[in-house]
Amino acid sequence: MKLVLLTLRLLCLACLWPVTLLNNPYPNRKKNKDVYLAEHGKNRFRGRIDYKLKRKDSTKSLLIKTEQLLRIEDHDFAMRPGFGGSAIPVGIDVQVESIDGISEVNMDFTMTLYLRHYWKDERLAFPSSNNLSRTFDGRLVKKIWKPDVFFVHSKRSFIHDTTMENVMLRVYPDGNILYSVRITVTSLCSMDFSRFPLDSQNCSLELESYAYAESDLMLYWKNGNDSLRTDEIALSQFFIEEFHPSHGLALYSSTGWYNRLYINFILRRHIFFFMLQTYFPTMLMVVLSWVSFWIDRRAVPARVSLGITTVLTMSTIITGVSASMPQVSYVKAVDIYLWTSFLFVFLSVIEYAAVNYFTTKEEMKKLEQLKLSGYDASQAMAFDGCFHDQDIELSTFPLSGLNTDPCMSSRNSTTPDLPPVLGTRLRRRRSIRQGVNHIMNNSYKIDSYSKIFFPLAYFLFNIIYWSIYS
């Protein structure tokens, strides 16, 4: 009996199965209903999707609810707030994170900063029971209106994007907005190098609206002088003396007046680096060139090699300094010092050339006098009008200038030697031409005078130079 009942049940199931397939030709339609609505519901209902159908994608659901809360699609955010009315005030707040580099060659500086904008857009106001703000990232920023602030005279700039784009948007229930962005900008700085490297440079970073004139957008510092804050900034070649904000107006002939904000800072250069790299080596080269004054005038190779070495070293120093500086059309303070020092080194070489020339002439004259000593006195007197001794000496006594004239020494002269006082009086009465001739006939004195004149002149130059530029 049980076997008969089981057989009847199997026959009934076999008869009902085809009827079920005919009544449901799409067995998977119900299964895929949620997926179909998820893909096509947004286009059909313009983004208003039932939360129950989207409960698996909570992130996208929250973004959609935010857009609904702020009524993003109900307004045209291509227009500024209050279009057609008075200018919208936009407050600016800046925090300077670092000054990454200053280039004298390119005349620019690179700065990283946090730029914050404050304005009110009542179109983004939303109801809130606890009066708390909402913070968003860069995805919502692209869908609303924001000030088009740019950096005047900037060469390069970018928004940091590691690990995410460094952009923050904070919206308050009453429509007040805070928009913050982290930017690195390279901007022009017109530098004056007339006192380089003892100079101070005034640089500024300028902010301005690109499209909105003064009648549409008013830029101002949010908290006055406190709107500009800086972190602890240390630079290798400069000391930052001052940071201060300011504001003004810029006129463009075709579009009108625009509000402009300035971030001003004063840079004073550290001199110690240039003292070690430029000034001290230059001083040593000048002093080294004076060593030739103590070398014997007949040591031609030693004095020539020393002079040429110091000249070439000075040329290398000047070339190195010029390569790290812009090609300006005026004279810099370092140029004055280097070229004056180069002149001292060059004059020391010229000094030895003069010494060597007069020494050669003196020796040639001595040889001629030795040849003349072979003649008798009358022949020698007929030759140059003077009476000569048979033996000629070139004395180095200080008063020997009295006997440089060949006529002063005579073989048969009975005139006694002049006392030192009379010799001193005669030397004071000597004319300039006679003094030059005296030095020419005693070339060793050029080195003696140079030992005193060169150091004194260079010391006087340093006093004048540092008193003017320090």
Beta bridge partners of 204: 264
169-198 burial, b at 16+ Cβ within 10 Å, e below that, comes to: bebbbebbbbbbbbbbbbbbbebebeebbb
Give just the sign of the alpha carbon dihedral 190, 191, 194, 200: positive
* pLDDT > 80? residue 353: yes
**How many whole angstroms separate alpha carbon 219 and alpha carbon 90?**
5
Q: Is the peptide bond before 398 cis (omega within 30 degrees of 0)?
A: no
**How many whole angstroms separate alpha carbon 113 and alpha carbon 116?**
10
Beta-strand pair 200-209/256-269? antiparallel
Confidence of residue 436 (pLDDT cuts 50, 70, 90): low
Q: What is the rounded average pLDDT of the residues 339-361? A: 92
Domains, in order of start, for the chain: 88-269 (2.70.170.10), 274-365+459-469 (1.20.58.390)
Q: Is the peptide bond before 406 cis (omega within 30 degrees of 0)?
A: no
User: pLDDT by residue (tens digit) across 128-172?
Assistant: 878 788 888 888 888 899 999 999 999 999 999 988 999 999 999
Q: What percent of the chain has pLDDT over 70?
A: 72
Ramachandran area for residue 245 (φ above 0: left; ψ -120 to 50: alpha; else beta)? beta
